[in-house]
Structure 1
Amino acid sequence: MKQFLLIIIIILTACSTKIDQRVFGIWKTNSNYYKATYKIEKFNEKIIGKLLYYNDGTTVLHETKTEKDIFIKDLKYRNQSYVDALSGATKTSSQNYKIKVKHSDTLEVTTYIRNKPLIETWTRKQ
């Protein structure tokens, strides 16, 4: 009986922690207000987001290859979306990003500004 329960727990854990691998890669924003390129990858058992390039017409940022580039510190895969990211920019523990894979080359990214959602589309950089 104990072995049966252990097998059930292992199966449930494996199923609930499955990660949609399509989120990994280099992404660019489709925004009218700024241009940005990001990289989502696995680093030290966490899923992180790095800034590779940003330009809003007044501020231009380039990858520094340091920890400063990490703007998403820990994405968790739940209910077919990535949630509970802790943003390095705001230094809060509230939910700042929700990323949903719409297609292998398209992400729907929701950020929250003053508790109001802002939805963007990111496309895979070729």
Structure 2
Amino acid sequence: MFSNDAFSFACMKATVAFFILITFCSCNESTNDIHGTWTVDSKFYRATCNITETNDAVKGQVLYYNDDTTVYTYNEGEAKNYFFNNIKVKNGGYVDAISGATKTGEQLVTLKLRHKDTLDITRYVMNKPLKETWIRIK
């Protein structure tokens, strides 16, 4: 039915296509799945943050913040404030790898996507972890 050459060529094409597909899928690691608008579920403050790509860096811009002492609302045209300055993929999660920062031995802020709409944030205050949950609203 098929000659050996035609069958071998078809197998080779299928194998090459398979490896190209696997390589493409495994190299497509990005922070796109955390992009969006998030609200903070914290007993210490209320906040809304927009994680987006700005000037080739993934940042978490503060849209609203209120800790009953300081209240901030971002208005278009004002200087932007950020929770995170340079989010990078690391070990199946994300870290805020602040560009230009020197090594100080401090713990990095980590972001872990628990669910597509739930983000676990761990910050370190005086070397103690402070965990927060952020919920996607957009």
TM category, shorter = 0.7 to 0.9
Say which one has the larger Rg: 2
Paired residues of 2:107 and 2:127 also in contact (CA < 8 A): no
Secondary structure class of the residue paired with 1:22? helix
Q: Distance in 1 between matches of 2:102 and 2:130?
A: 18
Q: Normalising to structure 1: TM-score of the pair?
A: 0.75
Paired residues of 1:48 and 1:72 also in contact (CA < 8 A): yes
Q: CA shift at 1:20, angstroms?
A: 4.3
Residue 109 (structure 1) aligned with residue 121 (structure 2): yes
Aligned-pair Cα RMSD in Å: 2.7
More strand by share: 1
Q: After TM superposition, list the pairs within 5 Å mapping 1:1-126 onto structure 2.
A: 11=23, 15=26, 18-65=29-76, 66-86=78-98, 94-126=106-138
Paired residues of 1:101 and 1:108 also in contact (CA < 8 A): yes
What letter matches 2:128 in structure 1? Answer: K
Stretches of structure 1 that go unaligned for 5 or more consecutive residues are 1-10
Q: CA shift at 1:32, angstroms?
A: 1.4
The aligned length equals: 114
Q: Normalising to structure 2: TM-score of the pair?
A: 0.69
The verdict on how the C-alpha distance between 1:15 and 1:82 changes in structure 2, with shifts beyond 3 A counting, is same
Paired residues of 2:108 and 2:124 also in contact (CA < 8 A): yes
Stretches of structure 2 that go unaligned for 5 or more consecutive residues are 1-22
